[in-house]
Protein backbone atom coordinates (compact mmCIF):
# COMPACT_ATOMS: atom_id res chain seq x y z
CA UNK A 1 0.00 0.00 0.00
CA UNK A 2 1.26 3.46 -0.85
CA UNK A 3 -0.13 4.67 2.49
CA UNK A 4 1.97 2.23 4.51
CA UNK A 5 5.13 2.89 2.50
CA UNK A 6 4.66 6.61 3.16
CA UNK A 7 4.08 6.03 6.88
CA UNK A 8 7.21 3.90 7.19
CA UNK A 9 9.34 6.49 5.43
CA UNK A 10 7.99 9.23 7.67
CA UNK A 11 8.47 7.13 10.80
CA UNK A 12 12.09 6.44 9.96
CA UNK A 13 12.57 10.22 9.61
CA UNK A 14 10.66 10.89 12.88
CA UNK A 15 8.10 12.80 10.84
CA UNK A 16 4.46 12.46 11.92
CA UNK A 17 1.75 11.46 9.46
CA UNK A 18 -0.99 13.85 8.49
CA UNK A 19 -4.29 13.55 10.33
CA UNK A 20 -5.79 12.05 7.19
CA UNK A 21 -3.08 9.38 7.09
CA UNK A 22 -3.55 8.57 10.77
CA UNK A 23 -7.29 8.20 10.26
CA UNK A 24 -6.64 5.99 7.23
CA UNK A 25 -4.69 3.54 9.41
CA UNK A 26 -7.74 3.11 11.64
CA UNK A 27 -9.91 2.58 8.55
CA UNK A 28 -7.82 -0.23 7.04
CA UNK A 29 -9.51 -3.58 6.51
CA UNK A 30 -8.80 -6.88 8.24
CA UNK A 31 -7.32 -8.11 4.95
CA UNK A 32 -4.67 -5.38 5.31
CA UNK A 33 -4.01 -5.94 9.01
CA UNK A 34 -0.77 -7.90 8.75
CA UNK A 35 0.58 -5.31 6.33
CA UNK A 36 -0.24 -2.58 8.87
CA UNK A 37 1.50 -4.51 11.67
CA UNK A 38 4.55 -5.15 9.49
CA UNK A 39 4.82 -1.46 8.55
CA UNK A 40 4.53 -0.31 12.16
CA UNK A 41 7.07 -3.01 13.08
CA UNK A 42 9.68 -1.49 10.77
CA UNK A 43 9.35 1.83 12.59
CA UNK A 44 9.41 0.14 16.02
CA UNK A 45 12.60 -1.81 15.18
CA UNK A 46 14.33 1.30 13.85
CA UNK A 47 14.09 3.04 17.21
CA UNK A 48 13.76 0.19 19.73
CA UNK A 49 15.12 -2.94 18.09
CA UNK A 50 13.53 -6.10 19.44
CA UNK A 51 13.62 -5.02 23.08
CA UNK A 52 10.55 -5.09 25.34
CA UNK A 53 10.55 -2.96 28.48
CA UNK A 54 8.76 -4.47 31.47
CA UNK A 55 6.95 -2.25 33.96
CA UNK A 56 5.39 -3.27 37.26
CA UNK A 57 2.48 -1.62 39.04
CA UNK A 58 2.20 -1.17 42.80
CA UNK A 59 -1.18 0.20 43.87
CA UNK A 60 -0.27 2.21 46.98
CA UNK A 61 -3.86 3.16 47.86
CA UNK A 62 -6.93 1.57 46.33
CA UNK A 63 -10.57 2.58 45.99
CA UNK A 64 -12.98 5.23 47.28
CA UNK A 65 -11.93 7.95 44.86
CA UNK A 66 -13.91 11.22 44.92
CA UNK A 67 -13.56 11.68 41.14
CA UNK A 68 -16.27 10.45 38.78
CA UNK A 69 -14.26 9.07 35.82
CA UNK A 70 -16.76 6.80 34.07
CA UNK A 71 -14.22 4.12 33.14
CA UNK A 72 -12.74 3.70 36.60
CA UNK A 73 -13.48 0.89 39.04
CA UNK A 74 -12.34 3.14 41.90
CA UNK A 75 -14.58 6.08 40.98
CA UNK A 76 -17.12 7.83 43.14
CA UNK A 77 -20.18 5.59 43.25
CA UNK A 78 -18.46 2.54 41.76
CA UNK A 79 -20.14 -0.73 42.66
CA UNK A 80 -17.22 -2.80 41.40
CA UNK A 81 -16.11 -5.19 44.13
CA UNK A 82 -12.46 -4.17 44.11
CA UNK A 83 -9.91 -4.17 46.92
CA UNK A 84 -10.06 -1.05 49.09
CA UNK A 85 -7.19 -0.09 51.38
CA UNK A 86 -5.30 2.94 52.61
CA UNK A 87 -1.63 3.78 52.00
CA UNK A 88 0.87 0.95 51.98
CA UNK A 89 3.83 1.58 54.25
CA UNK A 90 7.17 2.16 52.48
CA UNK A 91 8.47 -1.30 53.44
CA UNK A 92 5.26 -2.95 52.20
CA UNK A 93 5.49 -1.10 48.89
CA UNK A 94 9.17 -1.96 48.58
CA UNK A 95 8.44 -5.67 49.06
CA UNK A 96 5.68 -5.50 46.45
CA UNK A 97 8.01 -3.73 44.01
CA UNK A 98 10.76 -6.30 44.58
CA UNK A 99 8.51 -9.06 43.23
CA UNK A 100 8.14 -7.22 39.94
CA UNK A 101 11.84 -6.41 39.70
CA UNK A 102 12.66 -10.08 40.34
CA UNK A 103 10.38 -10.93 37.43
CA UNK A 104 12.33 -8.68 35.09
CA UNK A 105 10.65 -5.31 35.50
CA UNK A 106 12.89 -2.33 34.77
CA UNK A 107 10.42 0.25 36.03
CA UNK A 108 8.14 0.32 39.07
CA UNK A 109 5.00 2.44 38.84
CA UNK A 110 3.67 3.72 42.15
CA UNK A 111 -0.03 4.56 41.85
CA UNK A 112 -2.44 6.01 44.40
CA UNK A 113 -6.11 6.65 43.90
CA UNK A 114 -7.32 10.16 44.63
CA UNK A 115 -7.84 13.53 42.98
CA UNK A 116 -4.27 14.47 43.82
CA UNK A 117 -1.72 14.19 46.61
CA UNK A 118 -1.41 16.39 49.67
CA UNK A 119 2.08 17.58 50.57
CA UNK A 120 2.09 14.89 53.29
CA UNK A 121 1.26 12.30 50.63
CA UNK A 122 4.20 13.49 48.52
CA UNK A 123 6.50 13.06 51.52
CA UNK A 124 5.11 9.56 52.09
CA UNK A 125 5.67 8.59 48.46
CA UNK A 126 9.15 10.09 48.63
CA UNK A 127 10.02 7.75 51.50
CA UNK A 128 8.60 4.85 49.49
CA UNK A 129 10.75 5.75 46.47
CA UNK A 130 13.83 5.86 48.67
CA UNK A 131 13.01 2.45 50.16
CA UNK A 132 12.50 0.89 46.71
CA UNK A 133 15.74 2.29 45.32
CA UNK A 134 17.74 1.20 48.36
CA UNK A 135 16.62 -2.38 47.79
CA UNK A 136 16.63 -2.48 43.98
CA UNK A 137 19.71 -1.01 42.34
CA UNK A 138 19.13 0.62 38.96
CA UNK A 139 15.32 0.43 39.05
CA UNK A 140 13.34 3.31 37.57
CA UNK A 141 10.42 4.69 39.57
CA UNK A 142 7.39 6.43 38.11
CA UNK A 143 4.83 8.10 40.36
CA UNK A 144 1.16 8.37 39.46
CA UNK A 145 -0.75 10.28 42.12
CA UNK A 146 -3.31 12.38 40.27
CA UNK A 147 -3.39 16.13 39.75
CA UNK A 148 -0.27 17.91 41.03
CA UNK A 149 -0.08 21.23 42.84
CA UNK A 150 2.77 23.69 42.38
CA UNK A 151 6.07 22.37 43.69
CA UNK A 152 4.99 18.77 44.13
CA UNK A 153 6.63 17.49 40.95
CA UNK A 154 9.91 19.06 42.05
CA UNK A 155 9.69 17.35 45.45
CA UNK A 156 9.05 13.99 43.83
CA UNK A 157 12.05 14.53 41.58
CA UNK A 158 14.22 15.38 44.60
CA UNK A 159 13.02 12.20 46.29
CA UNK A 160 14.31 10.13 43.39
CA UNK A 161 11.30 9.78 41.06
CA UNK A 162 12.32 9.39 37.43
CA UNK A 163 8.95 9.87 35.79
CA UNK A 164 5.37 10.94 36.37
CA UNK A 165 2.32 9.38 34.79
CA UNK A 166 -0.91 11.22 34.14
CA UNK A 167 -3.02 10.12 31.20
CA UNK A 168 -5.10 12.40 28.99
CA UNK A 169 -7.30 9.35 28.30
CA UNK A 170 -9.45 10.82 25.52
CA UNK A 171 -9.79 13.87 23.31
CA UNK A 172 -10.52 17.31 24.68
CA UNK A 173 -13.80 17.33 22.74
CA UNK A 174 -15.15 14.21 24.45
CA UNK A 175 -13.52 14.54 27.88
CA UNK A 176 -16.51 16.26 29.50
CA UNK A 177 -18.68 13.27 28.67
CA UNK A 178 -16.36 10.93 30.57
CA UNK A 179 -15.48 12.99 33.66
CA UNK A 180 -17.19 15.95 35.35
CA UNK A 181 -15.12 16.48 38.51
CA UNK A 182 -12.02 17.78 36.72
CA UNK A 183 -11.17 18.93 33.20
CA UNK A 184 -8.98 17.92 30.31
CA UNK A 185 -7.02 21.13 30.92
CA UNK A 186 -6.32 19.99 34.50
CA UNK A 187 -4.69 16.87 33.12
CA UNK A 188 -2.60 18.76 30.60
CA UNK A 189 -1.43 21.09 33.38
CA UNK A 190 -0.19 18.18 35.48
CA UNK A 191 1.77 16.65 32.58
CA UNK A 192 3.35 20.05 31.96
CA UNK A 193 4.25 20.42 35.66
CA UNK A 194 5.98 17.03 35.61
CA UNK A 195 7.90 17.88 32.46
CA UNK A 196 8.97 21.26 33.81
CA UNK A 197 10.33 19.61 36.96
CA UNK A 198 12.64 17.37 34.91
CA UNK A 199 10.54 14.24 35.27
CA UNK A 200 10.04 12.03 32.24
CA UNK A 201 6.45 12.63 31.16
CA UNK A 202 4.30 9.54 30.74
CA UNK A 203 0.82 10.15 29.38
CA UNK A 204 -1.49 7.98 27.37
CA UNK A 205 -5.05 7.11 26.43
CA UNK A 206 -7.90 4.69 26.91
CA UNK A 207 -9.51 3.25 23.78
CA UNK A 208 -12.92 1.63 23.64
CA UNK A 209 -15.07 4.16 25.51
CA UNK A 210 -17.31 4.81 22.52
CA UNK A 211 -15.06 7.45 20.99
CA UNK A 212 -14.81 8.15 17.26
CA UNK A 213 -11.66 7.61 15.19
CA UNK A 214 -11.20 11.38 15.15
CA UNK A 215 -11.04 11.41 18.97
CA UNK A 216 -8.32 8.77 19.04
CA UNK A 217 -6.25 10.70 16.53
CA UNK A 218 -6.82 13.97 18.41
CA UNK A 219 -5.60 12.63 21.74
CA UNK A 220 -2.51 10.97 20.23
CA UNK A 221 -1.50 14.19 18.48
CA UNK A 222 -2.06 16.04 21.76
CA UNK A 223 0.28 13.59 23.51
CA UNK A 224 2.90 14.14 20.83
CA UNK A 225 2.64 17.90 21.26
CA UNK A 226 3.00 17.56 25.04
CA UNK A 227 6.30 15.75 24.52
CA UNK A 228 5.31 12.56 26.31
CA UNK A 229 8.28 10.19 26.45
CA UNK A 230 6.00 7.23 27.06
CA UNK A 231 2.48 6.64 25.76
CA UNK A 232 0.53 3.88 27.55
CA UNK A 233 -2.32 2.60 25.36
CA UNK A 234 -5.10 1.23 27.54
CA UNK A 235 -8.06 -0.73 26.25
CA UNK A 236 -11.17 -0.19 28.36
CA UNK A 237 -11.86 -2.93 30.88
CA UNK A 238 -15.66 -2.72 31.25
CA UNK A 239 -15.96 -3.37 34.98
CA UNK A 240 -19.41 -4.33 36.23
CA UNK A 241 -20.57 -1.58 38.57
CA UNK A 242 -19.21 1.29 36.44
CA UNK A 243 -21.06 3.45 33.88
CA UNK A 244 -19.10 1.95 30.98
CA UNK A 245 -19.73 -1.69 31.92
CA UNK A 246 -21.57 -2.37 28.65
CA UNK A 247 -19.01 -0.69 26.35
CA UNK A 248 -17.59 -3.68 24.49
CA UNK A 249 -16.43 -1.89 21.34
CA UNK A 250 -13.04 -3.48 20.69
CA UNK A 251 -11.77 -6.43 18.71
CA UNK A 252 -8.17 -7.67 18.57
CA UNK A 253 -7.91 -6.27 15.05
CA UNK A 254 -9.16 -2.86 16.16
CA UNK A 255 -6.63 -2.81 19.01
CA UNK A 256 -3.76 -3.58 16.63
CA UNK A 257 -4.81 -0.76 14.30
CA UNK A 258 -4.95 1.67 17.22
CA UNK A 259 -1.46 0.66 18.38
CA UNK A 260 -0.14 1.05 14.84
CA UNK A 261 -1.64 4.53 14.54
CA UNK A 262 0.03 5.53 17.82
CA UNK A 263 3.37 4.17 16.62
CA UNK A 264 3.19 6.11 13.35
CA UNK A 265 2.27 9.37 15.11
CA UNK A 266 4.89 8.82 17.86
CA UNK A 267 7.60 6.81 16.07
CA UNK A 268 10.47 7.27 18.56
CA UNK A 269 8.45 7.21 21.79
CA UNK A 270 7.96 4.32 24.19
CA UNK A 271 4.57 2.87 23.30
CA UNK A 272 3.25 0.67 26.10
CA UNK A 273 0.46 -1.88 25.84
CA UNK A 274 -1.29 -1.24 29.12
CA UNK A 275 -4.56 -2.23 30.82
CA UNK A 276 -6.95 -4.46 28.91
CA UNK A 277 -4.51 -6.22 26.60
CA UNK A 278 -5.46 -9.67 27.88
CA UNK A 279 -9.18 -8.87 27.60
CA UNK A 280 -9.16 -7.40 24.09
CA UNK A 281 -5.99 -8.52 22.28
CA UNK A 282 -6.16 -12.02 23.73
CA UNK A 283 -4.24 -14.47 21.49
CA UNK A 284 -3.11 -11.56 19.29
CA UNK A 285 -0.87 -10.12 22.03
CA UNK A 286 2.37 -11.37 20.41
CA UNK A 287 1.52 -9.46 17.23
CA UNK A 288 1.17 -6.30 19.29
CA UNK A 289 4.79 -6.65 20.41
CA UNK A 290 5.81 -5.91 16.84
CA UNK A 291 4.30 -2.44 17.32
CA UNK A 292 4.72 -1.56 21.00
CA UNK A 293 8.02 -1.83 22.88
CA UNK A 294 6.73 -1.91 26.45
CA UNK A 295 4.18 -3.81 28.57
CA UNK A 296 3.13 -4.22 32.18
CA UNK A 297 4.18 -7.40 33.91
CA UNK A 298 1.51 -9.38 35.73
CA UNK A 299 -1.50 -7.71 37.36
CA UNK A 300 -2.82 -4.16 37.09
CA UNK A 301 -4.31 -1.80 39.67
CA UNK A 302 -7.64 -3.46 40.36
CA UNK A 303 -7.75 -6.18 37.69
CA UNK A 304 -5.76 -9.33 37.07
CA UNK A 305 -3.41 -9.72 34.14
CA UNK A 306 -1.90 -12.90 32.82
CA UNK A 307 0.82 -14.54 34.87
CA UNK A 308 4.20 -12.85 34.79
CA UNK A 309 5.87 -16.03 33.51
CA UNK A 310 3.34 -16.15 30.67
CA UNK A 311 4.39 -12.61 29.72
CA UNK A 312 8.05 -13.64 29.67
CA UNK A 313 7.29 -16.75 27.63
CA UNK A 314 5.26 -14.69 25.14
CA UNK A 315 8.13 -12.24 24.66
CA UNK A 316 10.66 -15.03 24.10
CA UNK A 317 8.39 -17.04 21.81
CA UNK A 318 7.76 -13.97 19.63
CA UNK A 319 11.51 -13.50 19.17
CA UNK A 320 11.91 -10.46 21.42
CA UNK A 321 14.12 -9.87 24.46
CA UNK A 322 13.51 -8.22 27.81
CA UNK A 323 15.22 -4.84 28.08
CA UNK A 324 17.86 -4.78 30.81
CA UNK A 325 18.42 -2.06 33.39
CA UNK A 326 21.66 -0.99 31.74
CA UNK A 327 20.09 -0.47 28.32
CA UNK A 328 18.62 2.92 27.36
CA UNK A 329 14.92 2.74 26.54
CA UNK A 330 14.65 5.82 24.37
CA UNK A 331 16.68 6.49 21.23
CA UNK A 332 19.78 8.59 21.88
CA UNK A 333 18.32 11.82 20.51
CA UNK A 334 15.36 11.66 22.91
CA UNK A 335 17.39 10.49 25.90
CA UNK A 336 19.92 13.27 25.32
CA UNK A 337 17.17 15.89 25.11
CA UNK A 338 15.63 14.62 28.33
CA UNK A 339 19.00 14.59 30.09
CA UNK A 340 19.62 18.17 28.98
CA UNK A 341 16.30 19.11 30.55
CA UNK A 342 17.32 17.46 33.83
CA UNK A 343 15.30 14.28 33.41
CA UNK A 344 15.97 10.93 35.03
CA UNK A 345 16.61 7.40 33.71
CA UNK A 346 16.06 5.51 30.45
CA UNK A 347 19.41 6.59 29.11
CA UNK A 348 21.13 3.66 30.74
CA UNK A 349 22.46 5.75 33.60
CA UNK A 350 21.59 4.87 37.19
CA UNK A 351 18.09 5.91 38.14
CA UNK A 352 17.99 9.28 39.74
CA UNK A 353 21.30 10.30 38.22
CA UNK A 354 19.72 12.97 36.08
CA UNK A 355 20.84 11.27 32.90
CA UNK A 356 17.57 11.24 31.08
CA UNK A 357 14.58 8.99 31.56
CA UNK A 358 13.36 7.46 28.43
CA UNK A 359 9.98 6.19 29.23
CA UNK A 360 7.32 6.13 31.69
CA UNK A 361 5.28 3.27 32.68
CA UNK A 362 1.52 3.35 31.94
CA UNK A 363 -0.11 2.05 34.16
CA UNK A 364 -2.25 0.56 32.45
CA UNK A 365 -4.86 3.11 33.16
CA UNK A 366 -7.64 1.57 35.05
CA UNK A 367 -8.46 4.91 36.47
CA UNK A 368 -8.15 8.51 35.87
CA UNK A 369 -4.83 9.08 37.46
CA UNK A 370 -3.98 5.55 36.60
CA UNK A 371 -0.45 4.69 35.67
CA UNK A 372 -1.29 3.57 32.23
CA UNK A 373 -3.58 0.95 33.49
CA UNK A 374 -6.91 2.61 33.70
CA UNK A 375 -8.33 1.93 37.04
CA UNK A 376 -7.21 4.16 39.75
CA UNK A 377 -7.35 7.84 39.44
CA UNK A 378 -8.12 9.54 42.62
CA UNK A 379 -9.30 8.59 46.01
CA UNK A 380 -10.68 9.97 49.21
CA UNK A 381 -9.94 8.72 52.71
CA UNK A 382 -9.74 4.95 52.89
CA UNK A 383 -9.92 2.46 55.69
CA UNK A 384 -7.33 -0.15 56.60
CA UNK A 385 -6.40 -3.15 54.52
CA UNK A 386 -9.62 -4.86 53.60
CA UNK A 387 -10.21 -8.56 54.15
CA UNK A 388 -9.57 -10.47 50.95
CA UNK A 389 -12.81 -12.05 49.70
CA UNK A 390 -12.80 -15.52 48.23
CA UNK A 391 -12.26 -15.35 44.46
CA UNK A 392 -15.53 -15.72 42.63
CA UNK A 393 -15.86 -18.52 40.14
CA UNK A 394 -15.24 -17.14 36.64
CA UNK A 395 -18.43 -16.97 34.59
CA UNK A 396 -18.62 -18.87 31.35
CA UNK A 397 -17.83 -16.91 28.20
CA UNK A 398 -20.88 -15.04 27.00
CA UNK A 399 -21.89 -14.65 23.39
CA UNK A 400 -22.18 -10.89 23.52
CA UNK A 401 -22.26 -8.85 20.29
CA UNK A 402 -18.87 -7.33 19.51
CA UNK A 403 -16.86 -10.23 20.90
CA UNK A 404 -17.27 -9.36 24.59
CA UNK A 405 -15.35 -11.69 26.87
CA UNK A 406 -16.68 -10.87 30.31
CA UNK A 407 -15.04 -14.03 31.63
CA UNK A 408 -11.65 -12.34 31.13
CA UNK A 409 -12.42 -9.43 33.47
CA UNK A 410 -11.15 -10.53 36.88
CA UNK A 411 -10.82 -8.30 39.93
CA UNK A 412 -7.37 -8.39 41.51
CA UNK A 413 -7.35 -10.35 44.80
CA UNK A 414 -3.60 -10.76 45.30
CA UNK A 415 -0.46 -8.69 45.57
CA UNK A 416 -0.36 -5.20 47.09
CA UNK A 417 -2.93 -4.69 49.84
CA UNK A 418 -3.40 -8.41 50.45
CA UNK A 419 -1.56 -11.25 52.16
CA UNK A 420 -1.28 -13.21 48.92
CA UNK A 421 1.77 -13.36 46.65
CA UNK A 422 1.65 -11.06 43.59
CA UNK A 423 1.27 -12.32 40.05
CA UNK A 424 4.79 -11.41 38.95
Active site (catalytic) residues: 65, 69, 72, 109, 142, 202, 272
Q: Is 106 exposed, middle or buried (0-12, 13-18, 19+ CB in 10 A)?
A: buried
- Residue 325's SS3 state is coil
* Residue 408 DSSP one-character state: G
Q: Is 421 exposed, middle or buried (0-12, 13-18, 19+ CB in 10 A)?
A: exposed
Please, what is the end-to-end C-alpha distance for the chain in angstroms?
41
Q: Give every CB contact of residue 210 below 8 A, 6+ residues apart in sequence.
A: 244, 247, 249
How many CB atoms within 10 Å of residue 317? 10
Phi, psi of 402 (to 5 degrees): 90, 5
* Residue 203 DSSP one-character state: -
Q: What is the DSSP string of 65-85?
A: -SS--TT-TTSTT-------B
Is the backbone of residue 169 left (phi > 0), alpha (psi -120 to 50) or beta? Answer: left
CA 78 – CA 87 distance, rounded (Å): 20
Burial call 65-89: b when 16+ CB within 10 Å, e when fewer: bebbbbbbbbbbebebebbbbbbbe
C-alpha of 291 from chain center: 15
- Residue 294, H or E segment: strand 294-296
Orientation angle between helical segments 33-48 and 252-265, nearest 10 degrees: 40
Amino acid sequence: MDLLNTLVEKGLRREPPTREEALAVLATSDDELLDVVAAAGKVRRQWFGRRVKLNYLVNLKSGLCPEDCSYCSQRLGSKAEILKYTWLKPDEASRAAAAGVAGGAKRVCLVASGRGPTDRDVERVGRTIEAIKEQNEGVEVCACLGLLSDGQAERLREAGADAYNHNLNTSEATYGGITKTHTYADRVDTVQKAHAAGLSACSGLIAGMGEADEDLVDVVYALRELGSDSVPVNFLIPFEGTPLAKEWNLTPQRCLRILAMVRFVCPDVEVRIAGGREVHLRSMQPLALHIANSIFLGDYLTSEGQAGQADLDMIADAGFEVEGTGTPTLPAHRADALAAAGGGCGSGAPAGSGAGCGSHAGAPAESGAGCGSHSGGGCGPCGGHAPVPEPAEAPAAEAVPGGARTDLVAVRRRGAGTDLAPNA
